[in-house]
Amino acid sequence: MRTILITGGTGFLGRALARQLRGKARVVLAGRNNEQNRTAALATGCDVIPLDVANLASMRDAVVETRPHAIIHAAASKFVDLAEKHPHECIDVNVVGSQNVARVAMEHDVGAVVGISTDKATPPVRNTYGLTKALMERLLCSLDGKSATRLTCVRFGNIAWSTGSVFPIWTKMQADNNGLIGSTGPDMRRFFFSVDEAARLTLTALDRIEELHGQVLSRVMKAAQMREILDVWVAKKGGRWEPIAGRPGDRLDEDLIGDTELPYTREVSYDGVRHFVVSFNTRSPSPPAQMLSSANAQRLGDDEIAALIEPPKEQ
């Protein structure tokens, strides 16, 4: 059975990956916080090891100990406003950490590395977090081909109910403030899908690594304006919402494929779903006609929003 090491595997996406890989691979989850590590071990039944990707020696220890065939690199510092205020930590984890993951994978002949990126890395980048993830994409894709290790990235928008995201925040706000939600961006449009869809996209990249190495894989996602989600939320769960001051680093729309990337992007269909492959330095013979933006994406219907705002049941 293959061994798959998931950096940041104790987080929201990592635990969903562990569930999807159950019985198919030996999965080892890794993170820094030992209490969270213990909780993830109990929730998933996986082995969990301590790891700080920003520390090269720690990364080496993890790979020597687990001897993985593949690494899914999900560890990140991912809060946009914190990264604006404290860029050092975000750069250490997302850039230096990703470099450490790639270096050690290449040194130890790990077969494949899949880095988890975000729509915030799509050009034109608006914030420090997005810049660090854009660098991770370039780093992994450029290192591909220099050793036996295949490296790729996946890029997607918001995962509903992920750690620190709006749905858990709104739930807490309502509990603390008599049902009132303060929204920092009701006019913003955002891509959303479920954690299971994010995990599936990640595993597609791993399964198709021979075809995708050195490139970034994304897929169509539906989007919604935040006020549409707020209205469904209030209709289903009660309470009310009001706009509050925005946060540094946010923008009105997010893009999955930017304008300047179009000439380097090709469309593919996997399992009937439109996917997009960005190859930074190779022109595509048939680029998509227009960029994939939350401004022009297909909108989530009220029923789809209602399904997304239900908290997922972790198994």
**Which positions lie near ligand NAP, rule CB under 6 A?**
7-8, 10-14, 31-33, 36, 51-54, 74-78, 93, 97, 116, 118, 156, 158-159, 162-163, 165
Q: Which residues contact 72 (CB under 8 A, 6 or more apart)?
A: 4, 5, 6, 7, 9, 14, 17, 114, 116, 202, 206
Residue 82 or 212: which CB sits closer to ligand NAP? Answer: 82
Of 177, 174, 186, the closest CA to residue 231 belongs to: 186
Residue 9 or 214: which CB sits closer to ligand NAP? Answer: 9
Residue 87 or 179: which CB sits closer to ligand NAP? Answer: 87
Residue 98 or 265: which CB sits closer to ligand NAP? Answer: 98
Q: What is the DSSP letter of 299?
A: B
> Least separation, in Å, of the C-beta of 286 and ligand NAP?
27
Residue 113 or 116: which CB sits closer to ligand NAP? Answer: 116
Residue type, position 133, single letter: K
Q: Which residue is nearest to ligand NAP (CB)?
A: 11
Question: Measured between alpha carbons, how far is residue 178 from residues 170, 183, 240 in Å?
Answer: 12, 15, 9
Residue 97 or 185: which CB sits closer to ligand NAP? Answer: 97
Q: For residues 297 and 222, is the Cβ–Cβ distance under 8 A?
A: yes
CB count in 10 Å sphere of residue 127: 20
> Least separation, in Å, of the C-beta of 97 and ligand NAP?
5
Tokens linked to 306: 């209602």
Q: Which residues contact 27 (CB under 8 A, 6 or more apart)?
A: 3, 4, 6, 9, 17, 18, 21, 44, 46, 47
d(CA 2, CA 181): 45
> Least separation, in Å, of the C-beta of 260 and ligand NAP?
20
> Least separation, in Å, of the C-beta of 19 and ligand NAP?
13
Of 80, 122, 125, 134, the closest CA to residue 247 belongs to: 80
> Least separation, in Å, of the C-beta of 259 and ligand NAP?
20
> Least separation, in Å, of the C-beta of 12 and ligand NAP?
4
